Amino acid sequence: MLLLIDAGNTRIKWALCAPTGAAGAWLASGAAAHAQLDTLKAAWSSLAISAVLLSNVAGAAIGARLLAQLPVHLLPQAIATFASLPQLAGLRNDYRDPAQLGCDRFAAAIGAHALAPGQAVIVANCGTATTIDAITADGAFIGGMILPGLGLMASSLARNTAQLPQIASDAVLPAGFADNTDDAILSGCLAAQAGAIERAVRMHGASACLLSGGAAPRIAQALALPVPLRLLENIVMIGLQAAARASGEAGKQGEHPC
């Protein structure tokens, strides 16, 4: 079975899948904060892992610690590191320098194209940072936007502005103009996130919008879109799965795209 790992800026997400399984059909899955990374060894030791695909934007130190958690029976050639390429899994990477595109954004774009083939798509991944990217109907990643995530926006106000409080993660969503400071901060941050996504949908002429990441459920409630919205738990993982499938098919033909 294939272990997919998405090492983000705050958490490590993982899923186990069959190489030819349906998109998002996980046999097992989980997540851990960076501080709890060493607990993954026990979680993975009981799984029938035959190959690994790792997407890592958390740095070399986290990457090395993750590799140390993998079952010892895995050969080095069974462990692949996902990277942004000029083309993969039916998606063309039109970034000015394709290799400079964050591998998580590339994976999310692959996932979006796999889930909405033949459509102009906006995919927003709402984590520590919010990334908003555009994919054309014929499968080209044309670029995107990056802004601070919802939590980072709120916490930056709390840290850098006198007497403004930190917003609790379970705070009730305000509606429109708030009548207290806590709600005004959250309302403003939500409006900024939703406004950026709505603007991207209009600019791209998108026919679909995919939303993922820890803050996605909150931001989804603030969106007013003219196109269908699909909320996904982890679009990066779906993209990794599609990339692995494409790599396996290409490998049978003598190519090794990732």
% of the chain exceeding 70 in pLDDT: 89
How does residue 250 score in pLDDT terms, banded at 50, 70 and 90?
very low
d(CA 131, CA 153): 14
Quote the tokens at residue 173. 């969503």
- Burial (CB < 10 A; 0-12, 13-18, 19+), residue 214, is buried
Cα dihedral 88/93/96/97 (nearest 10): -20
Residue-range domains of the chain with CATH:
2-81 (3.30.420.40), 87-237 (3.30.420.40)
Tell me, yes or no, if 104 is annotated catalytic: yes
Say if residue 159's pLDDT is above 70: no
pLDDT in tens, 44-72: 999 999 999 999 999 999 999 999 999 98
pLDDT in tens, 80-129: 999 999 999 999 999 999 999 999 999 999 999 999 999 999 999 999 99
Interstrand relation of 91-93 and 140-148 (parallel, antiparallel or unpaired): parallel
Quote the tokens at residue 79. 């462990």
What is the value of pTM for the model shown?
0.89
Catalytic residue among 6, 38, 104, 183: 104
Cα dihedral 46/61/131/129 (nearest 10): 100
